[in-house]
Amino acid sequence: MISVDEARTRILADLRPTPAEIVALANAWNRVTAASVVARLTQPPADVSAMDGYALRAADGTLGATLTQIGAAPAGHPFAGTVGAGQIVRLFTGSVVPDGADAILLQEDATKDGDRITVNEAVAAGRHIRRAGQDFAQGDAVIPAGRKLTARDVGLAAAANHPWLSVHRRPRVGILATGDEIAMPGEPIPTGGIVSSNSHALAALVRASGGEPVVLPIAADTKEAVAAVADSVLGLDLLVTTGGASVGDHDLVISGLQTRGLVVDFWQIAMRPGKPLLFGNLGAVPVLGLPGNPVSAMVCAILFLVPALARLSGLPAAPPPATTALLGAPVRQNDQRADHLRATVGTDAQGRLVVTPFPVQDSAMLRRLATADALILRPSHAPALPTGAEVPIVRLDSLGL
Amino acid sequence: MISVDEARTRILADLRPTPAEIVALANAWNRVTAASVVARLTQPPADVSAMDGYALRAADGTLGATLTQIGAAPAGHPFAGTVGAGQIVRLFTGSVVPDGADAILLQEDATKDGDRITVNEAVAAGRHIRRAGQDFAQGDAVIPAGRKLTARDVGLAAAANHPWLSVHRRPRVGILATGDEIAMPGEPIPTGGIVSSNSHALAALVRASGGEPVVLPIAADTKEAVAAVADSVLGLDLLVTTGGASVGDHDLVISGLQTRGLVVDFWQIAMRPGKPLLFGNLGAVPVLGLPGNPVSAMVCAILFLVPALARLSGLPAAPPPATTALLGAPVRQNDQRADHLRATVGTDAQGRLVVTPFPVQDSAMLRRLATADALILRPSHAPALPTGAEVPIVRLDSLGL
C-alpha cells in the first residue's frame, strides 16, 4: 500500500493537459486558457475624461472664470477641433479629451448659461483624465495561459478585442460502473439489486471540475464484459471505473482489462474510506479505478480525480484546497491508513470555524455524505485530539462537489 | 442616496423564484431543487454485507470452527436458501445477507479448503452487516427544496431512484449595453470608441450564478433606441442595463424606458465605485441599471446581481459571502459612500489571510480588477485603519467572478 500523497503524485505525473481548441468569448467562462491573451488595442485608446464635465485649458480654469462652450464630445463622438484660450468643450465619462485641453471641469462645479460656462471650483491640470494605455497597451499579455477564466477575465478579454479564445479542450472522462446488482435510475431493478449512484455523482463531479463526462453502459460482472470496454476508450482522456476493484473474487476490472493490455501502476492505498484504488494505463488512456462504495468512491474522487481533472485541464495540479478548523468533538488516534472523516462545519461564538465529524462513518451512507460540509484529514498515525484542536479540512460545499 | 443594504433589500423584495421545470438527472448538477427529493426505495433494500466474506450464524463463528459452504451470493444474486447450523455462504460487499445468517466472517479471517471454511477470528453477531434502511427509507425526503445540487446530491438522487428532478428554471437575464462609443469584440470600432466589455463580463457572471444570459444588441445613445428595448423584455426574469444611468445629459436608460412605462424605485446608492445604480420595473420585468464603468459595473453586479440571481433561482437571497482578513497596508478614513477596494489576498508567516488594496482604485481599470482576489468592504464613515487591522472582505476568485 502506498500513501495518498505518493498515489496522487504518480497519477499526476502520468497526465498531460489536453490540446487547445477555439471557443467563442461567450462560451469561455470557466475554461482554462491555452495561450496568453494579448491586448489587440490600447485601453483607453486616447486620453479620456473620467467624469462628466467640460474640457478646457488648466490655465483658464480659475475660480469665477467664465468660458465659451464651442462644442460637445459625447462618448464615441470626439470633438474634431482644438480647445483654445477661453474656450471649453462639453464631455462625458469616457469622452476623448480634445486637442488643446489639459484639464476637466466637473459638471457639478460648473454653471451653464447658454454657451457661457462659469467655473465654481478651480481645476487642476491632468486631474480626472485617464491617460491612454492606463488600463493596458496593445501587445500586453493581459491574461496568462493556464488561467481558469473568471467573469472579470471574460470582460478583460472582450476589452482587449478578442471574440475568440484558445482554451484547453474539456477533458473527456469515461465513467464505467460495474456490477450485476446495479440499475440506472428509473429502470427495472434486479432482485437484491440497487440503483447505480456512483456514475451519476462522478459525472457531476467531472462537470464541476471542468470535464466532459462520458457515462458508459454498466458492465456485467464478467471478465468479458469488462474487457469489451477497452473498445470504448478511444478518444477519452481518462477512464474512471467504480467497483470491481476490491480484493476477492470480484477484482474484475483488473483481470478484465488486463486481457486488453491494462498496465497496473498501483491498486492499493493506505487510506480510508477507499483502500482499493487502482491506477494504470490501457494503451494511451490512463485508468483510475475507484472503490464501489459510494462514499469511498466520492472521497477518492475528491482526492485524486479532481486534481487529475485540473492537470488535464491545464491548471496547476495540486491536492484539493485545505483549510483548518477547530474540532467540535474529540477524534481517536488513527491507524496507518489516512482517514477522511465526513463532518459538518459551523462557527463558534468567536466566529471561528468548527468542524464536527459524524459519529458513524460508514462508507455506504450516501445521505450522510451529501449533508457533510467537509472532510477532516487525518494523516496516518495521527494522535487522538480533543475538542477544540485545530485540524486540516477540505470544504466540499464551495466546490460544488 | 440610499445605503447598499437598503438597496439590496428593496431589490430582493421585488423578486420571486422562477417556476419549476423538469431536467434529467444527468443535467441536474448545480441546479436548485424546486421540490424535495423523496426516496422511492429503501437503501439498502435489505440487510447487506459491508465486507467481502461469508455469512453464518454467529453461534457457529467461534475461533477454529470449520463450516460447510453451501453456496455463494454475489452482489445482485441473492442466495435463495437458508443458512443452517454449521453452514456458511460466500458473499461480497453489498450482497444480501441470506436468511438464517446473523454474522459475517471476513474473507481475511477465513481459510478455505474446498467447501470447508475455517474461522480464524471469532465473529460478532450483526457486525459488518448494514441494516435495511440504514442510509434512507422509502418516503424519506433525502434532499430539501431550495438546494443547489452538489455532485454528492446527484448521486443521492440517483440512489433514491430519480431519473428526473424538478428544479427552478434558470433565470433569464437580459443584458443591455448602451452607448454610441462601444463595439462588440472583433467588429469595427467607431472613432474614439472602445470595445464593449460589460455585457460579456456580466453574461459570464450570470452563468456563474446559475442564470441564462440573453445579450441584447447594443442600444445607441438615443431615447428611441433605448425605448425599443422594451419590446425585447418579454419572457425575461430580469433586465440588466449598463451605462446611460449617470447624472448628466446621458441618463438615457431612465428617460428612454420611462416612455415605455418604467417605474423607478431608486437610482442612486451611497457607494463607490458605482453611485448611479438604478432599480425599477418595466411592466412585469424588474430592471437593474448598472454603471457604465467596467469596474463599477462588476462591483455592483457582485453586490446586487449575484444575490438577485440567487433569489430568482430559488436559493436564500443573502449578501455575497464575506470573510475577514488582516490589512496588508493602511486604509484611509472613509466618507459617507461605502467603498469596495480591489485587493490581493495572501497569507502571512502564521498562515493568516492578508488583504492588500491596490494603491490606485480607478473604476476604469479592468485589468487590475481581473487580477484582484477580493473586495475590501469599507462601510460609510469607517475609520482609518492601520496595517494588520481586521477587515471584512468578499473573495472573488472562489466564486468564478
- Which residue in A has a C-alpha nearest to residue B306's C-alpha? A151
Backbone φ and ψ of B202, nearest 5°:
-70, -35
**CA–centroid distance for A357 within its chain:** 27
Pick the last residue of a domain from B149, B168, B187.
Answer: B168
Best mutation target among A366, A371, A397, A398 (most B Cβ atoms within 10 Å) is A366
Decide: B356 and B292 in contact? Cβ < 8 Å.
no
Confidence of residue B350 (pLDDT cuts 50, 70, 90): confident
A128 backbone φψ class: left, alpha, beta (φ>0; ψ -120 to 50):
left
What is the per-residue pLDDT for A243? 80
**CA–centroid distance for B325 within its chain:** 23
Structural domain containing residue B221: 4-15+170-313
What is the per-residue pLDDT for B184? 94
Decide: B146 and B29 in contact? Cβ < 8 Å.
no
Alpha-carbon torsion B214, B215, B216, B217, what sign? negative
- Which residue in B has a C-alpha nearest to residue A198's C-alpha? B155
For residue B193, the SS3 value is: coil
DSSP state of A375: E
Does the pLDDT at position B246 exceed 60? Answer: no
**CA–centroid distance for A102 within its chain:** 44
Q: Would you tell me which residues 371-400 of chain B have a C-beta closer than 8 angstroms to some C-beta of chain A?
A: 372, 396-398, 400
| Cα–Cα dist B259/B223, whole Å | 8
Does the pLDDT at position B245 exceed 90? Answer: no
B112 in contact with chain A, both atoms CB, cutoff 8 A: no
**Number of neighbouring beta carbons within 10 Å of residue A249:** 13
Kindly determine whether residue B194 and residue A94, on different chains, have CB atoms separated by under 8 Å.
Answer: yes
What is the per-residue pLDDT for A246? 52
B287 is a domain residue: yes
Q: What is the CATH number for A121?
A: 2.170.190.11
Alpha-carbon torsion A126, A128, A129, A135, what sign? positive
Residues of A in contact with B249 (CB under 8 A): 52, 74, 90, 92
A143 in contact with chain B, both atoms CB, cutoff 8 A: yes
pLDDT tens-digit series, residues B50-76: 888 999 999 999 999 999 999 998 877
Q: What is the CATH number for B341?
A: 2.40.340.10
Same domain, A327 and A301: no
Same domain, A24 and A155: yes
| Cα–Cα dist A44/B365, whole Å | 9
Please list, in sequence order, all residues whose beta carbon lies within 8 angstroms of the beta carbon of residue A349, skipping any fewer than 6 positions away: none
End-to-end CA distance of chain A: 27
B272 is a domain residue: yes
Kindly determine whether residue A401 and residue B198, on different chains, have CB atoms separated by under 8 Å.
Answer: no
Same domain, B89 and B124: yes
C-alpha distance from residue B238 to each of A291, A396, B214, B291, B309 (Å):
45, 31, 10, 16, 9
Q: How far is A325 from chain B (nearest CA, A)?
A: 13
B239 is a domain residue: yes
Same domain, A231 and A309: yes
Angle at A238 between CA A236 and CA A243, to 5 degrees: 120
Q: Looking at the 3D structure of chain A, how many domains does it have?
A: 4
For residue B295, the SS3 value is: helix
A342 is a domain residue: yes
Q: What does the DSSP assignment read for A247-312?
A: SSTT-HHHHHHHTTTEEEEE--BSEES----EEEEETTEEEEEE-SSHHHHHHHIIIIIHHHHHHH
Nearest to B196 by CA among A94, A286, A114: A94
What is the per-residue pLDDT for B249? 41
B318 is a domain residue: no
Grid cell for residue B264: 423607478
Same domain, B196 and B304: yes
Q: How far is B336 from chain A (nearest CA, A)?
A: 18
Q: State the alpha helices, DSSP H only, in B160-290.
A: 198-208, 223-228, 252-258
Grid cell for residue A292: 464501489
The beta strand positions in A32-75, using DSSP E, are 37-38, 48-49, 53-56, 66-73
pLDDT tens-digit series, residues B151-188: 999 999 999 999 999 999 999 999 999 888 789 999 99
pLDDT tens-digit series, residues B213-224: 999 999 988 889
For residue B328, the SS3 value is: coil
| Cα–Cα dist B149/B134, whole Å | 22
Decide: A181 and B75 in contact? Cβ < 8 Å.
yes
- pLDDT, average across residues B273-293: 90
Q: What is the pTM of this model?
A: 0.92
| Cα–Cα dist B139/B132, whole Å | 14
DSSP state of B2: B
pLDDT tens-digit series, residues B292-341: 888 999 999 999 999 999 999 999 888 888 889 999 999 999 999 999 99
A53 backbone φψ class: left, alpha, beta (φ>0; ψ -120 to 50):
left
Q: What is the CATH number for B33?
A: 3.90.105.10
**Chain mean pLDDT for chain B:** 92
What is the per-residue pLDDT for B250? 44
A260 is a domain residue: yes
Q: Which amino acid is at B296?
A: S
B50 in contact with chain A, both atoms CB, cutoff 8 A: yes
Pick the last residue of a domain from B265, B286, B313.
Answer: B313
DSSP state of B300: H
**pLDDT tens track, chain A, 401 positions:** 899 999 999 999 999 999 999 999 999 999 999 999 999 999 999 999 988 899 999 999 999 999 999 999 887 788 999 999 999 999 988 889 999 999 999 999 999 999 999 999 999 999 999 999 999 999 999 999 999 999 999 999 999 999 999 999 999 999 999 888 789 999 999 887 889 899 999 999 999 999 999 999 999 888 899 999 988 899 999 999 998 655 444 478 888 999 999 999 887 888 888 778 889 999 999 999 998 888 999 999 999 999 999 999 999 988 888 889 999 999 999 999 999 999 999 999 887 889 999 998 887 789 999 999 999 999 999 999 999 999 999 999 777 89
A145 is a domain residue: no
Same domain, A304 and A364: no
| Cα–Cα dist A135/A43, whole Å | 5
Same domain, B59 and B184: no
What is the per-residue pLDDT for B313? 97
Q: Which amino acid is at A110?
A: A
Grid cell for residue B78: 441473492
B143 in contact with chain A, both atoms CB, cutoff 8 A: yes
| Cα–Cα dist A79/A85, whole Å | 16
Q: How far is A89 from chain B (nearest CA, A)?
A: 14
Pick the last residue of a domain from B115, B130, B145.
Answer: B130
Same domain, A156 and A294: no
Same domain, A192 and A219: yes
For residue A269, the SS3 value is: strand
Partner residue facing A200 (CB), from B26, B190, B197: B26
Same domain, B105 and B162: no
Same domain, B142 and B262: no
B283 backbone φψ class: left, alpha, beta (φ>0; ψ -120 to 50):
left
What is the per-residue pLDDT for A250? 44
For residue A297, the SS3 value is: helix
Residues of B in contact with A94 (CB under 8 A): 179, 181, 194, 292
Nearest to B11 by CA among B305, B246, B394: B305
Nearest to B45 by CA among B94, B89, B110: B94
Burial B165-194 (b: 16+ CB within 10 A, else e): bbbbbbbbbbbbbbbbbbbbbeeebbebbb
| Cα–Cα dist A19/A59, whole Å | 58
B275 is a domain residue: yes
Same domain, B309 and B226: yes
